Amino acid sequence: MSKPNLSFWIISVLSLIWNLMGVNQYIQQAYRTDSFKAMYTEAQLVTISNTPTWAVAAFAIAVFCGALGCALLLLRKKWSQVFLLLSVVGVVVQMYYNLFIIKSASIYGPGAIIMTIMILVVALFLYWYSKFAEKRNWIS
């Protein structure tokens, strides 16, 4: 196994932090914390409360598999690819619900589309990066 360069460590740490922020958001939403409720209007909270179980599960898969995948990437384990791919699948399912079923831009504003695209791009990048790291022999 080759020694990874500095960018590998920077990308891996930043991506773990990114996914842990997603885990935090999921937990706040699941427990309906006061800080979570303060971020949304009453109408938005009703929409969130009516989210179907399959979309909530997709959110959980996206963030928890993403965090685990990034932790495994930091540990230089090839298994990171499996979890990062599962994260991409969770993101795609969740974003399908947000964009096409509830039309989130009409509920949360145009920033919702930007955030959705950014989340998908990051998830795809991380999966690609895990494959790249394997080719460089940085993970096994």
Mean pLDDT (the chain, rounded): 96
Position 109 pLDDT exceeds 90: no
pLDDT recorded at residue 104: 86
Say whether pLDDT at 106 is over 90: no
107 CB neighbour count, 10 Å cutoff: 16
- For 33-61, write each residue's pLDDT tens digit: 999 999 999 999 999 999 999 999 999 99
Q: Under DSSP, is residue 119 helix (H, G, I), strand (E, B) or coil? A: helix
Residue 112 banded pLDDT, cuts 50, 70, 90: confident
User: Which residue is associated with the tokens 């932090």?
Assistant: 17
pLDDT for res 122: 98
- For tokens 């589309």, the residue is 113
